[in-house]
Structures are given as C-alpha cells and as structure tokens.
Structure 1
Amino acid sequence: MAVNLKNNEVGIYAIGGLGEIGRNMYCVEFQDEIIIMDCGIKFPEDDEMGINYVISDYSYLVKNRKKIKALVVSHGHEDHIGGIPFLLKKIPEIPVYAPPFALALIRGKLEEHGLLKTTELHEELEDTVLKFPKLSVSFFRTTHSIPDTLGITVQTPEGAVVFTGDWKFDLTPVMNQPAPNFQKMAKIGEEGVLALLSDSTNAEVPTFTKSERFVAQSLHNIITGIDGRIIFATFASNLYRVSTAIQAAIDTGRKVAIFGRSMENGVQNGIDLGYLDIPEGTIVDASEINKLPPEQVMILCTGSQGEPLAALSRIANGTHRQISLKPNDTVIFSSNPIPGNTTSVNHLINKLTEAGAKVVHGKIHNVHTSGHAGQEEQKMLVELMKPRFFVPVHGEYRMQVVHTETAQETGIPADHTFVLKNGDVLALTKDSSRLAGHINIPDVYVDTSGSDDVGNVVVRDRQILAEEGLVVVVATVDYEHQRVLAGPDILSRGFVYMRESTDLISAAQKHVYHILREQMAQKPKPDEREMKKAIIENLQDFLYSRTERRPMILPMIIDKNKDSKPIKKNKKNEQDPNQIKND
C-alpha cells in the first residue's frame, strides 16, 4: 500500500470500478482528508461458484479511517451502493450522504445487516454543500435510469475534482423528473475543474442515448396491442420503467400484481417519496390475480437478469407457488443483460418460449434504453466542464481507452488523460500530474450466506470441483511400524466413472501405496500434513499424466495409534501393492 502524496498534491484513486462494470468506489485525498464517492458491488462471473457478488478490500481505508470525512453517493444502483453495509461493518463511524431514493434503498440494506441504528445517514440534494477544513463537496443534477441522480464535485485547494456517477443527457425525462442542470455544469467548468472522472460504460456508442420517453411510448404501444396476460420484468430500481408499465396497465384497464421483494420495496419507496402516483385499486394482492380475466392482468416482477431465485425464473421453471405460465402469456424483458448475465438471460428466454409464452425483449422492440451517455454526450460534458485532466471510470479497459480518445478529440492533451487501474494513485496539482503509488486491492467474495470472508482459495477450489471433480483417498496406517494397514481406497466424484475406470483406479491406489511407504520411511518421520501434501501433489501429477485433468485430491489418513478402536488384524490388514483391487 505504498502511497506517496506530497503535501500540495490531490490524490485520486479507485477502490473499484476501473477495468470492470460494477464495484464503483472512488476517492479524493488531500493531506489528512478523504472523500469517498460511492461504494458498490460487482456481480460474479460464471466461474465464481457460489458467489453472490464481489466487493473490494477496504484495508487501505481502514488504515486511514481517521482521514475519511464522508461517503457521498451519486445514485441508488447496486454497483454504487451495494458495498456500503460491508464498508460500515469495518468503519462504522463514516457519515453517509445520499439523494432521497438512494437513501431509502440504503436504509433497507442497513436494516437487513443490523446497521441502521448505528449509521449516521444524511439526505443530499442538488443544493447541498458539505464543508470540511480543506475539502468541500457539492452536487449537480444529471439523468440516469433511476430517480435522484447527482454528479459530485469535490472542491480542493488545487481545483475541483468532478465525478459524474452514472449519467446521460435525457432532455425529455419521464415521471416529472427534471432535466440535467447544464447551467450548473457550465458554472463548475468556468470556475475550474482539475480533473473529470466520467462514466465510460457507453464510450463505444457513437451517438446520443435515446430518451426514456421514447421507450415509454414504445412500451405503451406494445402493451396496448396485447390481448392476454402480461408479465413485465425489469430492474426494481428503474422506477421510470415501473411507472411506464403501471401507467400502460391503467390505460388498458389492467390490474397490477407485484412479485419479488425488491420490486415491492422499490414500488413502495416510489410511492412514499411521491415519484409514483398510482390510483387506488390498481395494485391488487397476488392471491387475486388468478381470479381475473387474462386481458385484465399485468404481473410486475423481478428476474430480468435471469436470477435463479427471482420471481420470473420460478415462473418459467414452474416452481412459483401462485403463478403458472399460460400459452397466451406475453413476457416483456424491459432491460438489457448486465455483463456476465447474458447466458442466464438467454436460457430464461428459451424456457419461457418453450412453455408457450411470447417473449418481447431487447432493442429490437424498443423496450429498453441505456442510462449511460454515448460519445456525443461525453464530448458535450467535456466541453461544459473543461477539465485540465481526464480520467475515464466505470468501464472495462477498452471502454476507458475509447473514452480517453473521445476526450482528446475535444482538445484535452493525450498526456492529460489517464487510463488507471484499481488502486493506482494519481497525484495532481494545477501544474503537474504523476502516479504516486499503488494500493493493493484484492477481490473480496460474498457468498449466499452474506459472508464476506470467502477467500480466493475457496473460489478456486469451487472452480476445480466444478471443472475437474473430486478424488478422495482413504488409508489406515501404522506410523510406528511403517505399515499401511488398510487401503488406500479411492473414491471419485465428478472425475471418472468408477466402474468404467477400474484400471486407472487400481493404478492410482498402487501409486498412493508407494507414496505412503516412502513417506513413512523418511527420517525424521513426516507429520500428517506433509503426508497429505505429498499424496495431493504426486497423485495429481499421476492422474494428469493419464487423463490430462487435475481433480481436487482430498486425503484422509487414519493413524492406528490414535484410533480408539483397535483394528482387527487379518490377511487384508497388511496390503501388498500387487494385491490392491478396486471395490
């Protein structure tokens, strides 16, 4: 964790969010003050077995906890707020500032983790200003696929560091949300921006991103033309899309039933905050939905990303307690798969189609638009902000590179743009820039139990088990007399089929027998750990030479002298390697 910032330098670094989609967490450090911007999660890749999501290692922040003045949040998506409970478990004293809708979502998360009563929470609005001895924080309004989206400005003695959060320039937003505040952005630019940290998700898209109102009209037209029951799946946090679906249901005389806890919470938060105005009687209890004619039903549910336990997946699999698919059902996917979820989403679409449902999805039907800016909007933002230095954030490496090229087209010198990696520390002044060290930030895995101590070794073992299988080796030995009393027996699970691999298993048994005899003959005698290590390494090499696969080896060595039950001697107790056979 070598960070070498000079007293007059502003440090900028990412704890997550660079070279990846998700886990957004960016910091501005000046002398003895740190401002954290967002704290998100990343969804796991397909080979990260049993993992719900990935967060960052917060060790550097724990070490420098006295410097942290605030965690400020740009908006309420999981990749920007999902890590907050895990950060607060390590540093509970951090005050958290968030816009209203994000704050409601954060409260729910903290309550689940038992942290709500111990956390200092504050609402932030566009005119909020946070002042600290050396740094100050203010906000500006943007638009995204969720209400209450703010960009963040951290004012330092060397100039402003601006973080966009997720954004686009939607000039005709829905649900009475205000348009982006171009005047305030231009004013920030006139006052001097030291560095702009800008969202790179759509850096490869050469156009403006379509307005949410365009999708609203398209969805309304599609829903109006459907005769049967409608199952509408989208992100629970995308209140714009939820509002559009509910309004279309009202206009076509349909009742709405909500399935999925996150969808229920999202709708309730929208109602409580005044973003959703739903006439009484529109939303009906889930138990009533099967009593209504199909043409009067809309089911609003979670599961647009193919999550196995979400409502839509259970409906598709026929395991939902209240909803069964009908041949005339229409399922609308009003979202695009996030990276890593494409396979599961396609699988879900296939299952729904096989069950006889009509599936409407993707940009072909204009039922989704991105919440992220394309190149033309990105150029416009750079022209408004006029930053001295430019850092693309929130995107995979190629997206960051393309984004720097776009910034350079607007006149920013190439040596003033930086494609950083998580942990790289960029040190800036008005007149200088340099890399000032690197913070080691390993991945931290959170499994289905909510535990955040699942190490890389555990994930690697799960990958081996899934891809290569398991071989269990059991033997009873007498260390004192250097004898193998029983076994070694070998059991295969997911590696080879035992009955069809008797020659391989028999050869492996003989191989392990010789390893045990060689190990026990050593002076001084090895301990049990060394014996197991020798079996694992030698047997893996042996099996690889025969099969080109390396299964996980699990040795179980029983010491006769430690066993409370004496082993009855018979002719089979002292095994001869030439007589070992597979049971």
Structure 2
Amino acid sequence: MKNNSKSAISTQPATASPQRRGNKGTYSRRAISEKGTAMNVSRAAYAHRRKIASAPTETLKFIPLGGLGEIGKNMYAIEYGNDIVVIDAGLMFPDEEMLGIDFVIPDISYLEENRKKIRGILITHGHEDHIGALPFVLPKLDVPVYSAKLTLGMIEGKMLEAAPRYKPRLVEVKAGETVALGVFKVTFISVCHSIPDALGIAVETPLGIVLHTGDFKFDPTPVDDHVTDYAAFAELGRKGVLLMASDSTNAEREGFTKSEKSLIGAIDNLFRTYRNRRVIISAFASNLHRVQLVLDAAARFNRKVVFAGRSMVNNVDLAIRLGYIKAEPGTVVPLAEMDSYNDSHLVVMTTGSQGEPFSGLVLMSKGAHHRVKLDSKDVVALFANPIPGNEKLVSNTINRLFELGCEVLYGREAGLHVSGHASREELKMLLSMVKPKYFVPVHGEYRMQIRHSQLAEEVGIPEKNVFIMNNGDILSIARNSAGVKSKAPAGAVLVDGMALGEKEGSILKERQELSENGVLVVSVTLDKKGLLVGEPCFESYGQIHFKDAEGMRQEFSEAVRRALKRELPEDDELLKKQISLRCKELLRKYMRSASAVIPLIARL
C-alpha cells in the first residue's frame, strides 16, 4: 500500500514556547522535533540502502538443454552464481531419417564447461527420456545423482551395463525430503505418473522458488495408492513460486486423464474374449503400474505371465526385488519354460510398443525372436499409443503382425492405453494452485508448449511472464525482470551402439548422402614418377552401374587422367581432392546430384 501523506514532519503552526539557550545556539521545540524526525528518516534510508546492498545481486538462470520442441531428451539446468543443479538426463529415440542411429542424447557442452559449479543431478523418475543419457553424462561430469529408490535401482542397472568401470554416487531421497545443494534447497514432491516413485522438484533459490513438476497427472485411484501431493503444491503456491516449468505432453487433450485403474476392465475383457488363445501384450518396459495390472488379471484368469525383452525383464525383476510389484506365487514363468504350458494359459508381456528396431515385439513380428514364434493362434495387444515421430515404425510392426496371421488390437479405439500425463483441466488446476510469477511449458513439441502457455494465460498469468523457449535458451531472472537474453549450446548428440557419436549434422549427414546418392570408389595405381599405371578402376554402389555403360566409363577415366595432371604427383591428398572434384562434376551431369566419391591411390 502506498502512503499518501506528503511528509512525516508535523506542519501544525508553532505555539509560543520557552526558548532553550546554550553555548551551541538557541532551538525551538519545533526545530528539535524536525531534527529528530529528519534523523529517523535518515536512519530508515540508511537501513533501506543496507537492505538493498545485502539483497541477492546474482541472476537466476533456467537453461533447458533438451526436452523442448520434442518428446524426450529431457535435461534442464538451474544456475545461480557458482552453483548449478541439473534436472533429468534423458534420451530420445531416433526418427526415420536418423539412419543407423540408436538414440539421441543432449549436448552437455555447457555443463562440461561449468562442471565445477554442478552440485548434483536430480532425477524425476525412471523413464528412458529422463535417465537414458546418464551412462554418457555421468562419467564426464562425475557428480552425485539424487532420486527415489526405484529410479536409482534402474540407473544403477544402466550404469553397470553401459559404463561398468564408473562408480556413480547415487543418493536416495524420499518425497517430502529437503536436501541442501550449494545455495539451493531442493524439496522432492510425490506425483502420480505411469511409473512408481515419480517426483516433482522444488528448488529454493536466493531469488525465489523454481518448481519443476516432472511428468505428472492427478489420478485419484493410482495403482500403488501414491497420489499426487496436492497439499505440497498448494503450500508452494501459498509461499510464492517464482518460476514453474511444467509437463506439456497432453496440453492438447481436453478434460482429465483417466485413471490407470480404468484399464482393469479392458484387460479382463481381453483375457475373457480370447480365453483359448495366447495373448501377447506390448507395453513400455518401465510402465510398471501396467505390469502390476496384467499380473493381477493373470492370477484371476489362471494364466501364467512370461516377460520377454531385456529391459522389460530387468525392470520387472528390480521392481519385484524392491517390493514395487507383487505377484501371486507361480504366476511369473521364465521365458525358457514357456513351452511347458498350453498357449491358452500364457500371457507374454514384451517391449516394442513404439516399433523399436531390436525390441521384443519387432523381433517377433519379423520371425527373428529366439523363443516366441507368432502365428494365427496369437492375439497381440499394443498397450501404448505411438509417441509422435514413431507412427511409421509402429505401423510397420502392425502390418507384419497381420501378415503372420495374428489378431492385433491397437489404437485409441481399442481402449488399451491410459496416459501418464495431465490433460488440460489438470494443467489448469495446477497452474491455479501454484500461481507462479513466471511460467515455462516444457516436455513437449512446440504446439504443445503453445497450448500450455495459452492455459497459463487463461488462469491469469500475464502473457509477458510466459516464456516459450527453445533448447539452449537461457532465461535470466533478476529481482524485478526476466527474459531470454543469451543461448547455450544445446544440439543433439547421436549414439550408434554404445559409442558416443558426433554432434548432429556430421555423421548423420554422411549417412543421408550415402542413402540418397550412393558411393563411387575410384582406384588408381601410380608408378614411382607419379604416372598412371593401367586404367582407373571404378566400383559404384547405389547409383550408376559402369558394367552397363562402357562409354561412361571412358569419360570418367579421362576425367581422372586430367585430375592427375593438375597436381604435384607426390601429394596424395591433393590428387584425391582433384579426382573427387572431377568425378562429382560428371556425376551431376548424369544424376543431377553428386554421390560420395572415395578415391584410393596405390603406388608401386
């Protein structure tokens, strides 16, 4: 509230009063009063200046290194002064244009440059798009990882498999617990998702609270009875949240997301309808709530459950060992013992709902699985919808399954999938509950971020305080302002096998060129004087067949001879460059595009 009085000093007329005399002069009572008031004002101003001087002068930075404009590859940094905390380190599965690439992880150049500032990596939950990059990130950064028990168990398994020589520092936390990391106080919040132990993260900074919701939904009847902690979010709203970054995956979907338990009827109906057939269920390997529902239904219908796919088997074994999944004795059967049971008594649960090339279901659809062979006696149910970008891979898998004679249940009309992400009404509820000063929609493609930003404006967050960011944008927040003023490196790093590839645009570009235009190998033999011995040899793959074009071969041979005459005979690199240049000129003449040319020089 503003004070409307013009002065704190009395303006009433002075009354007659005795005068006080002394060596230092004569003062009236009014003069003494005014001097005292002025001294009080001076002290207040001094105290105010001291308060401003002691207030935080650093800028708070929020830096998304992955997870914006895409599904997956989630990684976010919060920086203040000499301290950084990182939230999540996920991967993204490749699209069809990423030839031979297994997955994509964030570029962590910025974190490597600031490694001494990093106080820890905070993991929201155990899905691959949040933990998948850790085997490549952790050995480079060598910082502790904080998360819940199940998530840490999954991380430990990944590290043992992918980086066995590195010993990660894994710190278990529980929902409701607060951890001090540098200038930050980090509080973990229970949220409901499609995997147990999912967490939201509130980071208290010198400028205010930064809230990262993680992946969440408001499920009133979760499978494990751990609901989203509404009270914790409401309390944060009461305290005041400076910045909220929130899951945008379902920002286009109206209403509320259904409860995971709503699938119980669909699973029962599946087993009841196909009681005489073997049932193959494909789901995310980390969707352990769905695994629990299938185990419960199998026990009710007297079926045995076989798990196939390495990640599925590993996750289920870990969850059973840690007590997150409970199975009736005898319900789970090892894959090796599957042939001991009638098909009508079996449920095979496997990976591959997204068409991943080496997943269990894809191998089965190709007839390449070492244990499970599919035919017309099988019913295949896909308990997941395609992630954007995976539609073609999933479609190809379904087509192959039909070709094998299987009955395939898939798509939204089958009613076999419930999302783990909040829909529009839930997103609005959380925004209204938290009332952040600034808001950044994360976890989603660009259109999802836009839709989420519109929801924020609907509940009263000013448009100027909502930031649609791209990976690498640095949102700088001062005491009374915020804006994107700089950028950090935040490209994509390609992973082929378990070897870290080059950054996007190098290896991938070469593979795309090879796939589109083929390759021409030119071999020449030179004598001691650098003169050509015999005719150049040409081997072409994926383009012109020289065996059927003798005239063309002569034209290319003459081009190679001209190239050899232009450069110093002892400089192989210059010779190769000229051969490649001359051959590409001819290729453009015949093909309108130049393929890769690989010159080989042998000397006698």
Give the TM-score of the pair, scaled to structure 1: 0.90
Aligned pair partner of 2:361 in 309, 312, 320: 312
Aligned pair partner of 1:200 in 230, 241, 248: 248
CA RMSD of aligned residues (A): 1.9
Specify the alignment match of 1:545 in structure 2: 589
Q: What is the identity, as a one-letter code, of the residue corresponding to 1:529?
A: E
Aligned pair partner of 2:127 in 58, 77, 88: 77
1:381-530 superposed matches below 5 A? 381-453=430-502, 456-478=505-527, 480=529, 483-520=531-568, 527-530=571-574
CA distance in 2, matches of 1:114, 1:420: 33
Contact 2:493 2:500 in 1 (8 A): no
Contact 1:136 1:154 in 2 (8 A): yes
Q: Which of the two has higher C-alpha Rg?
A: 2
Q: Indicate whether 1:375 and 2:424 are aligned.
A: yes
Aligned pair partner of 1:278 in 327, 334, 350: 327
1:118 aligns to what SS in structure 2?
coil
1:371 aligns to what SS in structure 2?
coil
Contact 1:224 1:248 in 2 (8 A): no
CA distance in 1, matches of 2:298, 2:526: 73
Specify the alignment match of 1:107 in structure 2: 156
Q: How many residues align?
A: 548
1:54 aligns to what SS in structure 2?
strand
Contact 1:194 1:430 in 2 (8 A): no
2:534 aligns to what SS in structure 1?
strand
1:292-371 superposed matches below 5 A? 292-371=341-420
CA distance in 2, matches of 1:538, 1:373: 59
CA distance in 1, matches of 2:266, 2:504: 46
Q: Indicate whether 1:61 and 2:111 are aligned.
A: yes
Deviations 1:470-496 (A, max 9, x none): 10011123474x632233221111112
Aligned pair partner of 1:149 in 192, 198, 207: 198
- 1:165 Cα deviation (Å)? 1.1
CA distance in 2, matches of 1:207, 1:505: 67
Structure 1: 5+ residue stretches without partners: 1-5, 564-583
Structure-2 change in CA distance of 1:452 and 1:465 (3 Å): closer
Specify the alignment match of 1:169 in structure 2: 218
Specify the alignment match of 2:52 in structure 1: none
CA distance in 2, matches of 1:414, 1:143: 29
Contact 1:363 1:369 in 2 (8 A): no
Contact 1:10 1:158 in 2 (8 A): yes
Deviations 1:229-266 (A, max 9, x none): 11111111001111111222111111111111111111
Structure-2 change in CA distance of 1:541 and 1:403 (3 Å): farther
Structure-2 change in CA distance of 1:505 and 1:415 (3 Å): farther
CA distance in 2, matches of 1:455, 1:489: 34
Q: Indicate whether 1:178 and 2:226 are aligned.
A: yes
Q: Indicate whether 1:19 and 2:69 are aligned.
A: yes
Deviations 1:370-417 (A, max 9, x none): 111222111111101100001111112222122211211111111111
CA distance in 2, matches of 1:505, 1:418: 59
Q: What is the identity, as a one-letter code, of the residue corresponding to 1:64?
A: N
CA distance in 2, matches of 1:257, 1:55: 32
Q: What is the identity, as a one-letter code, of the residue corresponding to 1:311?
A: G
- The runs of at least 4 aligned residues of structure 1 exceeding 4 Å deviation read 452-455
Structure-2 change in CA distance of 1:449 and 1:127 (3 Å): closer
Moved more, 453-462 or 33-42: 453-462
- 1:77 Cα deviation (Å)? 0.5
Contact 2:135 2:163 in 1 (8 A): no
Structure-2 change in CA distance of 1:300 and 1:527 (3 Å): same
CA distance in 2, matches of 1:401, 1:422: 15
- 1:215 Cα deviation (Å)? 2.1
Q: What is the identity, as a one-letter code, of the residue corresponding to 2:71?
A: I
Q: Indicate whether 1:43 and 2:43 are aligned.
A: no
Specify the alignment match of 2:312 in structure 1: 263
CA distance in 2, matches of 1:326, 1:434: 58
CA distance in 2, matches of 1:71, 1:279: 37
Structure-2 change in CA distance of 1:370 and 1:537 (3 Å): farther
2:305 aligns to what SS in structure 1?
strand
1:213-224 superposed matches below 5 A? 213-224=261-272
1:130 aligns to what SS in structure 2?
strand
CA distance in 2, matches of 1:283, 1:133: 46
Q: What is the identity, as a one-letter code, of the residue corresponding to 1:403?
A: H
1:491 aligns to what SS in structure 2?
strand
Q: Quick one: percent identity of the two aligned structures?
A: 38
- 1:527 Cα deviation (Å)? 2.4
Contact 2:538 2:546 in 1 (8 A): no
Q: What is the identity, as a one-letter code, of the residue corresponding to 2:536?
A: P
CA distance in 1, matches of 2:165, 2:542: 45
1:249 aligns to what SS in structure 2?
helix
Q: Indicate whether 1:234 and 2:283 are aligned.
A: yes
Contact 2:139 2:166 in 1 (8 A): no
Specify the alignment match of 1:210 in structure 2: 258
Contact 2:240 2:436 in 1 (8 A): yes
CA distance in 2, matches of 1:303, 1:126: 31
- 1:104 Cα deviation (Å)? 0.9
Specify the alignment match of 1:573 in structure 2: none
Deviations 1:37-70 (A, max 9, x none): 0011111121222211111222221221111111
- 1:356 Cα deviation (Å)? 0.8
Specify the alignment match of 1:579 in structure 2: none
Aligned pair partner of 1:10 in 32, 57, 60: 60
Specify the alignment match of 1:566 in structure 2: none
Structure 2: 5+ residue stretches without partners: 1-55
Contact 1:107 1:116 in 2 (8 A): no
